A = this chain, B = another copy of it.
């Protein structure tokens, strides 16, 4: 198969972790005889520094022509500490989401037995938790207009908007994933307060009927925030709108204790983007100490979701598990023993695959 990938390392540790992921991607292509074609492009603070634009047109063109985008991380202290900077890395991220039509952000939340002691939750609550958060990514308050200030500057407003089509598309996706999993969908909204949530619930109640094999649960967002901590194992597939998803998926990502291990996929209309959940971790940049496993696992998702190459995805996952079993891991998860460098972990995994 011919694989056409755009590589966007971004800021901070982005370049070094994406480099390790690309080693795994190349090893897989070699082994399975796929023809790999890839090109790098700028995004985030580095793109602002070089072009003045966090998501340059050139980068966008490359993404549009690619079957998948392999993404590192964005964000730089230079901008984080200055919320009123006119051009910000986040604008690049939001622009990319909108322009590529990345409507569904998918985060599988899984636990790793050897990392359970790092979870803030009691082991019995989190052990074996395995669910998927699906966050709508191109609608809601993030993109709704009008947004701004009154003339005197003393009143501010944002608008949350959703259309039936936007909701249908992502709720259907949730049911399709649930059918391949434990067959349960939790629709999270605030239908007791918001008009958009009432539309979400109405549409979900219609779509629910198309999937009689899947159990549906409706939950208010405040309740979901509690349940993630109290009983994470009760979830299989959770689906929700953009802002609630921002909050809940981050909450979900820390309960496992394996934030450095969690990949994500953003499914788009034009192409799809694969990236680790963790951020650009500027303090570690250039030190060859960052954990590349979430990025490597994002490559597994890329093979599975973008190319439907399930065996390839499974082999990457196997290699990651093997590296953990062999204790070939970076300092953040190394236990009583030697910590490996970012590049050493990447090499080990590529060797394993080969």
Could you tell me which residues of chain A, from 100 to 146, have a CB within 8 Å of some CB in chain B?
120-122, 125, 141-142, 144
Question: Are B90's CB and A193's CB within 8 A?
Answer: yes
- Residues of chain B contacted by A122 (CB below 8 angstroms): 120-122
Interface of A is mostly: helix
Question: Size class of A's contact patch?
Answer: 35 or more
| A121, A156, A201 pick with most chain B CB within 10 angstroms | A156
Is there a chain B Cβ closer than 8 Å to A282's Cβ?
no
Q: A122-B120, A158-B195 are in contact. Are A248 and B225 (CB under 8 A)?
A: yes
A225 to B226, CA, bound (A): 11
| A88, A90, A223, A254 pick with most chain B CB within 10 angstroms | A254
Is there a chain B Cβ closer than 8 Å to A149's Cβ?
yes
Is there a chain B Cβ closer than 8 Å to A160's Cβ?
yes
Q: How many copies does the complex hold?
A: 2
Is there a chain B Cβ closer than 8 Å to A162's Cβ?
yes
Is there a chain B Cβ closer than 8 Å to A194's Cβ?
yes
Could you tell me which residues of chain A, from 72 to 91, have a CB within 8 Å of some CB in chain B?
83, 88, 90
Question: Are B147's CB and A195's CB within 8 A?
Answer: yes
A140 to B141, CA, bound (A): 12
| A162, A228, A229 pick with most chain B CB within 10 angstroms | A229
Is there a chain B Cβ closer than 8 Å to A250's Cβ?
yes
Is there a chain B Cβ closer than 8 Å to A196's Cβ?
yes
Question: Are B157's CB and A161's CB within 8 A?
Answer: yes
| A157, A158, A163, A190 pick with most chain B CB within 10 angstroms | A158
A162 to B32, CA, bound (A): 56
Question: Are B251's CB and A156's CB within 8 A?
Answer: no
Question: Are B250's CB and A226's CB within 8 A?
Answer: yes
Is there a chain B Cβ closer than 8 Å to A27's Cβ?
no
Is there a chain B Cβ closer than 8 Å to A191's Cβ?
yes
Question: Are B195's CB and A156's CB within 8 A?
Answer: yes
Q: Which residue of B lies closest to A243 (CB)?
A: B190
Is there a chain B Cβ closer than 8 Å to A336's Cβ?
no
20 contacting pairs across A/B (C-beta < 8 A): A83-B191, A94-B193, A120-B121, A120-B229, A121-B121, A121-B122, A154-B163, A155-B161, A156-B196, A157-B159, A159-B159, A159-B160, A160-B160, A190-B243, A225-B251, A226-B251, A226-B254, A228-B251, A229-B251, A229-B254
Residues of chain A touching chain B, judged by Cβ–Cβ distance below 8 Å, are 83, 88, 90, 94, 120-122, 125, 141-142, 144, 147-149, 154-165, 190-196, 198-199, 201, 218, 221-223, 225-226, 228-230, 243-244, 246-248, 250-251, 253-255
